[in-house]
Amino acid sequence: MLTKKQRDLLEFIQKRLSKDGVPPSFDEMKEALDLRSKSGIHRLITALEERGFIKRLANRARAIEVIKMPSSSETQQVGGNNFSSKTLGTVNANSNAAPFESVYANEIPVMGRIAAGVPIEAISEISHNVAVPGQILRGGGDHFALEVKGDSMINAGINDGDVVVIKETNRAMNGDIVVALIENQEATLKRFFVRGEAIALEAANPAYETRTFPHEKIKVQGRLVGLLRTY
């Protein structure tokens, strides 16, 4: 069953393929469907692919093949669209980039919550998976996601309830936003700074004090590379 928006997008792609031999760009699809967010297009495309109406070819820009068109009984006659309300807060489309670069999605595990405030218990279990545009995961390596709890990083654009995408690493440079494990017990999301023989974990909210620890008390578990937000 397709929503009206999903069918509209499928028909738009098919018309452009028939006319020009190539699918429309990300911007063209967003404009045609009068959507405010490009991530909305990503969700519609993902839904169409999951339902077997289109096929995307990996590692190729604008590579979409229409497999089939729906019958009238396969369209759900409702307003709006059927994509998730999660939108990507850290991917800004570059006009010189491949239009479909951020469309290809990978699922990564959500490992629970991370404190952007008072540290919480260390992350230990996978709660579910989340689809992340490939543009965020450039450079390879393992990634995981965490749900943010608290407002200590609000001035860095990270709000309570956001989902942060973390690249696994035990290294960080001054100023990086990292997942820091404190004394193997508590985990927090903060800016990382080396200050002599100590590590400073700095909030992005003046209401929270910078906390300083001996090197051996802190383990970096990953570095922030992306952000998903629910509106």
Q: 33-42, 100-109, 176-185: which has the highest mean pLDDT?
A: 176-185
pLDDT at residue 121, as a whole number: 52
- CATH assignment of 105-230, given 3.40.1000.10, 2.10.109.10, 2.130.10.10, 3.30.420.40? 2.10.109.10
Domain boundaries, the chain: 2-84, 105-230
| Torsion over CA: 221, 223, 228, 231 (sign) | positive
C-alpha to C-alpha distance for 165 and 227, rounded to whole angstroms:
6
Percent of the chain with pLDDT over 70: 76
Residues 109-164 have pLDDT tens digits of 887 778 775 555 555 556 677 887 777 777 778 888 888 988 999 999 999 888 99
> For residue 5, what are the β-bridge partners?
none
CB 136 within 8 A of CB 103: no
DSSP for 61-92, written as a single string: TT-EEE-----GGGEE--SS--S-SEEESS--
DSSP for 126-176, written as a single string: --EEEEEETTTTTT-S-EEEEEEESSTTGGGT--TT-EEEEEE-S---TT-
Percent of the chain with pLDDT over 90: 23
Contacts of 141 (CB under 8 A, 6+ apart): 167, 168, 169
| Torsion over CA: 97, 174, 137, 106 (sign) | negative
- Which CATH code is given to the segment(s) 2-84? 1.10.10.10
The β-bridge relationship of strands 186-195 and 120-121 is antiparallel
Asked if 190 is an active-site residue, the reply is: yes
Say which DSSP state 183 is in.
T
pLDDT exceeds cutoff 80 at 177: yes
Q: What is the mean pLDDT of the chain?
A: 76
Instruction: Quote the tokens at residue 61.
Output: 């820009």
Instruction: Point out the catalytic residue in the list 152, 167, 217, 219.
Output: 152
Instruction: Quote the tokens at residue 159.
Output: 């709000």
Residues 36-87 have pLDDT tens digits of 777 778 888 888 888 888 887 655 555 788 888 876 544 433 333 222 323 3
pLDDT exceeds cutoff 70 at 174: yes
Higher pLDDT, 59 or 108: 108
C-alpha to C-alpha distance for 174 and 57, rounded to whole angstroms:
39
C-alpha to C-alpha distance for 226 and 231, rounded to whole angstroms:
17
